[in-house]
Amino acid sequence: MMSRQAFLCSLGSLYLSLLFVFLLMDVYARPANNSALKEKLVDTKDENEILPPDHLNGVKMEMDGHLNKEFHQEVFLGKEMEEFEEDSEPRKNRKKLMVIFSKVDINNDKKISAKEMQRWIMEKTDEHFQEAVEENKMHFRAVDPDGDGHVSWDEYKVKFLASKGFNEKEIVEKIRNNEELKIDEETQEVLDNLKDRWYQADNPPPDLLLNEEEFLSFLHPEHSRGMLKFMVKEIIRDLDQDGDKKLTLSEFISLPVGTVENQQAQDIDDDWVKDRKKEFEEVIDANHDGIVTMEELEEYMDPMNEYNALNEAKQMIAVADENQNHHLELEEILKYSEYFTGSKLMDYARNVHEEF
């Protein structure tokens, strides 16, 4: 008969064996689980890919009239922006920033001029443009399954409503039979706004069909002068309180931020107003007459405006130009890394001499 000690040893061995089996099962199950999660994320992305993005890279103002807080990083880093994460190792980010500095400094004089920064900003903006063009090819295929090179508003509406959970076959049938679609008020409002935008993207002669280039303008209005005008009109419409199709400073800073509930929220609101006031007076209002016209706002919003790029370059240099020589040295960019990259580097002065 088995002793109590032998029984406990046997039981322990069995437990360890079972634990090992479960661990193996878990390890082999993980790839499938990760794959399923990845498929879920892809599906979510597929649902949103036919919608115009809320944020446009390299454009100074969002489509809802808010300032683009990441603009400086977007036009300084381009595609490298994703690599500068807050939790990244400072030493690695420092090296990346040094590489970027050497690329911007095309005459290799160890300092960056406004002209060099302007060239770099235009290059990074074009990089965002090319990325949008490549993504648009994929997105256009999603709404043009028959591959005829054109998409009608009804075809797009079907895909949009399907992405919102509506039955695609039922929607197609109802549209074909001119039956009323039962759509909630919020979805209908979005659909109406998209329809206005769709018609604006339909270049002359209007045929109510969008080709791939027109669809790019629909998703990315910054790629089209006509759509840029339309986007500016929408922003002014939202902010213009007296209907004169111009913006005063008070109108520009009156866009609600949120309900102020405490001192911290009040400070956030105060900073928000201060930022908008500075942008209005120093940048957008080009002739400094206290009024922003549609033309001024359009020039401000145009990401490929060379004068704007030069003005932006001068402003970016001024932020970190501690020795007031109107150029940027590597030490200055490293010290103000949070402004240029969104990533704060520690011990920049000591490390720059060690690595550069």
Task: Break the chain into its structural domains and give their ranges.
Answer: 68-149+210-257+265-351
What is the reported pLDDT for 13? 52
Distance CA 309, CA 122 (A): 7
Q: What's the CA gap between 333 and 165, in Å, rounded?
A: 48
According to the model, what pLDDT value does residue 131 have? Answer: 92
Contact call for residues 157 and 197 (beta carbons, < 8 A): no
What sign for the dihedral angle of Cα 340, 341, 347, 352?
negative
In DSSP terms, 292 is beta-bridged to 247
* Distances from the Cα of 158 to the Cα of 47, 152, 168, 233, 297, angstroms: 12, 10, 6, 28, 34
User: C-alpha angle with apex 285: 284 to 287, nearest 5 degrees?
Assistant: 135
Q: How far is CA 283 from the centre of its chain?
A: 22
As to burial, measured by CB atoms within 10 angstroms (0-12 exposed, 13-18 middle, 19+ buried), residue 226 is middle
Per-residue pLDDT of the chain (356 residues; tens, 9 = 90+): 445 444 444 545 544 444 444 434 443 333 333 333 233 333 344 445 688 888 999 999 998 889 999 999 999 999 888 887 665 788 888 899 999 999 999 999 999 999 999 999 999 999 999 999 999 999 999 898 788 999 999 999 999 999 889 999 999 999 999 999 889 999 999 999 999 999 999 998 888 899 999 999 999 999 998 999 999 999 999 999 999 999 999 999 986 555 545 666 656 678 889 999 999 999 999 999 999 999 999 999 999 999 999 999 999 999 999 999 999 999 999 999 989 998 777 554 445 444 44
Which pLDDT belongs to residue 48?
Answer: 55
